[in-house]
Structure 1
Amino acid sequence: MAISLLDDIRALTPAIRKLAPQIEQDRNVPSTVIDQLASLGVFKLAVPKEYGGSEAEPALLVDVFEELGRADGSTGWCAMVGAATGMTLAYLPPATAGELLRDPRFLIAGVAAPMGRATPVEGGFRLSGRWAFASACRHATHLVGGMVTPEGVRQAVLDPADLTIHDTWDVAGLRGTGSHDFTADGILVPADRTFTLAAPPVQKGPLYAFPALSLLALGIGAVSLGVARAAIEDFGELARNKRNPLGGEAIAAKPAVRVAIAEATALHGAGLAYLRHAVNDTAASAATPETDAPRRARLRLAISTATRNAARAVDLLYNAAGGSAVYESSPLQRHFRDVHVATQHAMVSGDVTETAGAVLLGLADSVPTTRL
């Protein structure tokens, strides 16, 4: 299944790459692309097998997201949000999960941050709030929203028909992700459509023993690396075709250009290898009662490092490309903006790196390890 899916996605890559400028201009991934990804099962990769999903190994998620990031950063981002958020169905009652999956275009997205306030009522909660950075929200069949209840933080699975989406996503990069705000105003959320990641999942497969926050975060590194790979490919084409105005030779003859593509390729490869190793190491140990904190710290460090490596690789290529990279017609300027928006995500922030370092030094008690 893994090889077949990757081959199918690679077959889509050329068409998606051609659409990338339009995706950015429209600030939205076309529904036709979302439908193609849905038909391939991308948005069910982390859904339990018992419910008709793939319950795929985390390593496959890395490869899928990296390839789709190579096709287009925004498409890869929407795919990874939809695919990874599918793991939340493992925390819901089987009957509820079945209801959500009745839609053939099933795509669950949302914002885990507890930006909502919920009051318990008979049969569930009355919820109001506003959530930002809701990638793929216009395509989602359901949206998750974190909420504060009297008993603590819970996640609510919401019907987009009950919500208002606000057009707020006018940003530097990843413009096509449509990561707008959405609001709820006193809507009723049935209890069986709420869950907490702090409790054990209903489904007990190996995928759901993998650290939940890391499963949601690993796509950030993978998509960023895909953007870097696209930049390497586009820079190579530029270097072979752009001519030095003085001598007339291709700029590929310049030592600085050769060094830039070599270092960028190494950064991409190192980041991807580190990420795959950390993901596989964590997955192999996830069957134990609780993955130890140092292993979780190394995994989150690998995710953050993959994202930083990707940004550094794109920076090298953007700088080496010279003035031609600043034109809107150059894909390098889009890759530059996309990857730097990815680095701003809270799940790959300096706070996470600092927490990982504290854990690796044996100082876990001095930092909030819930970040991991």
Structure 2
Amino acid sequence: MVPDALPWSGARQFAEAGFFRTVVPRSLGGLECAPEVTMVTIETLAQADASAAWCVMVSATAGLSGAYLEPSAAREVYGDPLSITGGSNTPTGRAQAAGDGFRLSGRWPWVSHSANCLWLKGISVLLADGKPRLRDDGRPDVRMMVFPAAQATLIDTWQVAGLEGTGSGDMEVTDIAVPEGFTYSLVSDKPREDGPLYRFPAFGLLALGIGAVALGNARAAVDDLLELAGSKKPQGSRRTLAERGMSQSELAQAEAMLRSARAFYYEALGEAWQMANRGEEIGLEQRAALRLAATHATRTSADVVRRMYELGGDTVLFSSHPLQRRFRDAYAATQHMMIAPPSWELAGRVLMGLPTDAAML
């Protein structure tokens, strides 16, 4: 059973508009946009529907693959202007070297937007004599494996409270062949493209995408509350929500929180992008700032949505009210590993000047 997801009719319209090609290299017919363009696009879409924006976020940032794959493989994956890609960053695949590539088996969770993808990918542990091959630092050696979506089985595990329309179920493959050219590592490989977009931190881009969805969803929640506040009179009150001092105070605080989080988010993005454009190395502090800004934006946005949800009272308990969905989507977004609580610790270590594993920055 294929998981529920953004309908193909909508996905095709998004593909035709270029939403999924903002990160694909120009050499492959992509748009190779500045990160701010991608994030504003996602943020704007999230004001209409967070699940649709999440699908765009996943498949747009997946376009980074085009900068890392061997050129012939990249052309095969992205040569079709309507090609949509996606996958999982959980290293649950197992890949055994075979000839000029690998034999791959595995099952991956959290494969958002998989139902509309022509190509899928999953991080996989490389095996040697049936055991994980270790890097010099003692950790398992892993690579991203890219393969036609038709070779994967999509499994409907996506019965969830929020972001229901992302179709983020599991995918599974069994003993498929993946040529070497269709594999890469964001940690150990350098991009084959030399544009500033590919000097921008890849993991920072992924985290920023989540923040963009959260910011757009929160902005829409404020708008939903404003629409409700002018007409709703809480039980026992003659005044509308808009006329009550408590509501005014909560709204003002939420607005300040959201604008502040958004300002930090785009400030950190802008600083890193300027460095990438100048050809400068984007150091540990800037990478940590990107992760911190994305985490702060996502979690502050969830708090803003919660405040609007609470102000809405019993009206927003009904699934027909948009704040019900905004609330569930906001807190589903906070569960992503790129902006989960350990991100605070990671950024804090950098701020403290302590030795930090920067592999995921």
Question: Smaller-chain TM-score range?
Answer: over 0.9
Query: 1:147 deviation in Å?
Result: 0.7
What is aligned with 1:3? none
1:209 to 196, 199, 218: 199
Please state how far the C-alpha of 1:116 moved relative to its aligned partner: 0.4
Question: Who is 2:212 aligned against?
Answer: 222
Unmatched 5+ residue regions in structure 1? 1-25
Q: 1:32 aligns with which of 9, 14, 17?
A: 9
Residues of 2 paired with 1:265 and 1:247: CA distance?
Answer: 25
1:369: Cα distance to partner? Answer: 2.1
1:156 to 129, 132, 145: 145
Q: What letter corresponds to residue 95 of structure 2 in structure 1?
A: A
User: Does 2:162 match 1:185?
Assistant: no
Say whether the 8 Å CA contact 1:62–1:276 is kept in structure 2.
no
- What's the offset of the Cα at 1:257? 1.4
Give the structure 1 partner of residue 341 of structure 2.
Answer: 350
Match of 1:61 among 15, 38, 52: 38
Q: Which stretches in structure 2 are left out of the alignment for 5+ residues?
A: 128-132, 134-140
Deviations 1:157-205 (A, max 9, x none): 1111111110000001000000010011111111111111121101010
> Is 1:306 paired with 2:291?
no
CA contact (8 A) 2:35 2:205 kept: yes
Instruction: Tell me the number of residue pairs that the alignment of Structure 1 and Structure 2 aligns.
Output: 345
Contact 1:256 1:320 in 2 (8 A): no
Work out the CA distance in 2 between the residues paired with 1:73 and 1:344: 14
Counterpart CA distance in 2 for 1:174 and 1:276 is 24
Partner of residue 7, structure 1: none
**Deviation for aligned residue 1:258:** 1.4
2:103 to 114, 126, 148: 126
Segment of structure 1 superposing worse, 105-114 or 120-129:
105-114
Equivalent in 311, 316, 332 of residue 323 of structure 2: 332
In structure 2, which of residues 214, 228, 238 is the aligned counterpart of residue 238 of structure 1? 228
Shift of 1:288: 4.1
Q: Say which SS state the counterpart of residue 79 (structure 2) adopts.
A: coil
Indicate if the aligned counterparts of 2:214 and 2:297 stay in contact, CA closer than 8 A.
Answer: yes
SS state at 1:100 partner: helix
Question: SS state of the match for residue 133, structure 1?
Answer: coil
Name the % identity.
40
Shift of 1:247: 4.4
What CA distance in whole angstroms lies between the structure 2 residues aligned with 1:221 and 1:178? Answer: 19
SS in 1 for 2:154: strand
SS, match of residue 173 in structure 1? coil
Question: Which string of whole-angstrom CA distances, capped at 9 and with x for unpartnered residues, describes residues 291-345 of structure 1?
Answer: 1101111111000000011001001111111111111111111111101010010
Aligned to 2:264: 274
CA RMSD of aligned residues (A): 1.4
> Which residue identity is paired with 1:368?
D
* Equivalent position to 1:165, from 154, 164, 177: 154
Please identify, of 70-79 and 101-110, the stretch whose mean Cα deviation from structure 2 is larger: 101-110
Farther-moved stretch of structure 1 (227-236 vs 252-261): 252-261
**Residue 289 (structure 1) shift:** 5.5
Q: Is the 8 A contact 1:231 1:317 kept in 2?
A: yes
Quote the residue 1:108 is aligned against. Answer: 85
C-alpha distance in 2 between matches for 1:77 and 1:104: 20
Q: Secondary structure at the match of 2:181?
A: helix
Higher helix share: 1
Q: Name which of structure 1's ranges 249-258 and 54-63 shifts more when overlaid on structure 2.
A: 249-258
Q: CA deviation at 1:62?
A: 1.6
1:89 alignment partner, one of 40, 49, 66: 66
Distance 1:268 1:100 in 2: 38
| Counterpart amino acid of residue 317 in structure 2 | V
Instruction: Tell me, yes or no, if the aligned pair for 2:29 and 2:79 is still in contact at 8 Å.
Output: no
1:323 is aligned to 314
- Following superposition, the deviation at residue 371 of structure 1 comes to 2.7
Question: Matched residues in 2 for 1:321 and 1:87: separation?
Answer: 41
**Which string of whole-angstrom CA distances, capped at 9 and with x for unpartnered residues, describes residues 126-145 of structure 1?**
01111000000001111111
CA contact (8 A) 2:154 2:171 kept: yes
> Counterparts of 1:357 and 1:137 in 2: how far apart (Å)?
34
Q: Does the CA contact (< 8 Å) of 2:28 and 2:79 recur in 1?
A: no
SS of the residue corresponding to residue 158 of structure 1 reads strand
